[in-house]
Amino acid sequence: MTEYISTKDTAKLVRQALKNAFPGIKFSVRMSTGTASAWMNVTYSDGPTEIEVRKITARYEGRTFNGMTDGYDDAGTALVAFDGEAMPREVRYTCDGINTHRSYTAAGYVVAQHLISTDSDRKALVLFTPEGEAMSGVTLPTDIYVAGHFIDYVYSAEGVAQRILHHVNLSAAGVPTK
């Protein structure tokens, strides 16, 4: 018999899974309200990439939005053995989707500046102070190649850093956690 797990209970499981997978990183896991009440939002600063976080959170989605059909695709059931259980249970998560958002601290921007200075085709480009504050009055390039990625349409120092850091696990880069 299939057991349905509410979005509220799924949020608890997501919190625990993220805590186990990324110790020391503080995640905020919140349920949406109103029409989107079956959705969750996960936010955090620095830490692992969003792709790494999505690998964890995707396991808990009961349905996923399909933009091609403008509808939802059912993820089906999962066999899960919870703590202390010898045999797995068949469960269906009622969460329709989980959005993730990663923000960056000054320490993350310092890492981005380091990557620009050591791995860029524009080694003299200084966008951030040693404290991680964006420099004012810097003429931004139209494109930049850094950390193995080509970045074009550069609009701000923060935008450059965010495009660079999107691919960088800041936990592994030694950025201190809060």
Domain that holds residue 125: 106-165
Total number of domains constituting the chain: 2
Q: Tens digit of pLDDT for each residue in 125-157?
A: 888 989 999 888 888 878 888 878 888 877 788
Q: Are residue 71 and residue 132 in the same domain, yes or no?
A: no
Q: Are residue 151 and residue 73 in the same domain, yes or no?
A: no
Predicted pLDDT of residue 84: 82
Q: Got the DSSP string for the chain?
A: -PEEE-HHHHHHHHHHHHHHHSTT---EEEE--GGGTTEEEEEEESSS-HHHHHHHHGGG-SEEEETTTTEEEE---EEE--TT-SS-EEEEE---EEEEEEE--HHHHHHHHHHHHHH-S-TT---B-TTSPBPSSPPPPSEEEETTEEEES---HHHHHHHHHTT--TTTTTPPP-
Predicted pLDDT of residue 42: 97
For residue 173, pLDDT beyond 80: no
Predicted pLDDT of residue 121: 66
Q: Are residue 7 and residue 91 in the same domain, yes or no?
A: yes
For residue 106, pLDDT beyond 90: yes
Does residue 174 lie within any of the structural domains?
no
pTM: 0.85
Does residue 175 lie within any of the structural domains?
no
Q: Are residue 59 and residue 73 in the same domain, yes or no?
A: yes
Burial (CB count <10 Å: 0-12, 13-18, 19+), residue 26: middle
Q: Tens digit of pLDDT for each residue in 54-89?
A: 999 999 999 988 899 998 899 889 888 888 888 899
For residue 117, pLDDT beyond 90: no
Q: Are residue 61 and residue 74 in the same domain, yes or no?
A: yes
Q: Are residue 32 and residue 69 in the same domain, yes or no?
A: yes
Average model confidence (pLDDT) for the chain? 88
Q: Tens digit of pLDDT for each residue in 5-56?
A: 999 999 999 999 999 999 999 999 999 877 778 899 999 999 999 999 999 9
Q: Are residue 126 and residue 92 in the same domain, yes or no?
A: no
Q: Are residue 117 and residue 94 in the same domain, yes or no?
A: no
